[in-house]
């Protein structure tokens, strides 16, 4: 059975202090979510034990804690401490950054060497590194391969788990179910979102794409959700980077649609 988590970044404006963060967790649980997807930046001003206590009181789980890959170089011990304190097995290690993929195949090899050390350290602690797949991994390298091809098949990243994001995948023009199939058994988290087309207020023919709650946009979410479940997704997370209304209302609307579409 899959579970539903709120992307806490959606309500980041309500997480500035520890008191606000704890209150936001209570509001998330009241909406009916099983868990949360945390950004490490939202924990900067909070006591981990206080957050862990509130999560336990509410019966909320942390499906992942997301950090940029650079943090594995200067803050790996803090990442491990956060995950253990919040009883979270999936530690987000970010994504391949421009400093690597702009170097072409050599950059990917450099990344893999560093990723191997990350995997070994987390494995020793009983944690799983979770890679956030976005869209630049599907840029063709000079040798004709995608960065994704190399990352997915490399022995250095064999212990990686993958977090897919349907919004990012649609921007690659790659069908999400194709990626889910390749990651079957290694994709515990799938981020859901939707996108609508709104006409430009000045020039009608210059339509702009805009994030929206699930079911209000264009994505074939029921089919993609079913494909993700076949691939072994354990968590579906919902949320938006930008909202055109109260973000808690957006989360509630997305949660209801996610359940309707078969997420839980």
Phi (first) and psi of residue 244, to 5 degrees: -100, 10
The reported pLDDT for the residue numbered 97 is: 85
d(CA 83, CA 86): 5
The reported pLDDT for the residue numbered 206 is: 66
The reported pLDDT for the residue numbered 99 is: 84
The reported pLDDT for the residue numbered 109 is: 92
The reported pLDDT for the residue numbered 133 is: 95
Phi (first) and psi of residue 132, to 5 degrees: -90, 100
Location of structure tokens 């943090």: 71
Q: What is the pLDDT of residues 218-251, one digit of tens each?
A: 999 999 999 999 999 999 999 999 999 999 999 9
Q: Please list the alpha-helical segments (H only) found in 125-185.
A: 147-153, 166-172, 176-182
The reported pLDDT for the residue numbered 118 is: 94
**Residues of the chain below pLDDT 70:** 200-207
Comparing CA positions, the residue from 114, 115, 112, 253 lying closest to residue 194 is 253
d(CA 153, CA 171): 23
The reported pLDDT for the residue numbered 208 is: 75
The reported pLDDT for the residue numbered 214 is: 97
């Amino acid at each position: 059975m899959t579970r539903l988590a709120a992307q806490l970044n959606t309500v980041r404006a309500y997480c500035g202090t520890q008191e606000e963060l704890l209150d936001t967790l209570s509001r998330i649980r009241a909406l009916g979510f099983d868990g949360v997807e945390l950004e490490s930046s939202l924990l900067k001003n909070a006591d981990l034990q206080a957050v862990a206590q509130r999560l336990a009181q509410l019966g909320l789980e942390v499906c992942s804690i997301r950090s940029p890959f650079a943090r594995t170089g200067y803050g790996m011990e803090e990442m491990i401490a956060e995950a253990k304190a919040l009883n979270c097995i999936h530690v987000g290690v970010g994504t391949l950054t421009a400093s690597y993929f702009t170097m072409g195949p050599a950059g990917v090899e450099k990344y893999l060497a560093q990723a191997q050390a990350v995997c070994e350290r987390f494995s020793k602690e009983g944690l799983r590194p979770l890679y956030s797949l976005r869209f630049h991994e599907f840029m063709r390298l000079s040798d004709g391969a995608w960065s994704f091809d190399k990352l997915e098949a490399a022995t250095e990243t064999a212990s990686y788990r993958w977090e897919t994001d349907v919004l990012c995948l649609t921007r690659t023009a790659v069908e999400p179910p194709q990626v889910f199939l390749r990651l079957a058994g290694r994709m515990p988290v799938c981020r859901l979102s939707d996108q609508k087309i709104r006409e430009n207020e000045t020039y009608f023919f210059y339509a702009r794409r805009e994030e929206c709650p699930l079911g209000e946009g264009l994505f074939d979410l029921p089919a993609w959700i079913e494909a993700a479940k076949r691939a072994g997704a354990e968590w579906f997370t919902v949320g938006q980077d930008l909202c055109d209304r109260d973000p808690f209302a957006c989360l509630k609307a997305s949660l209801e649609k996610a359940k309707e579409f078969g997420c839980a």
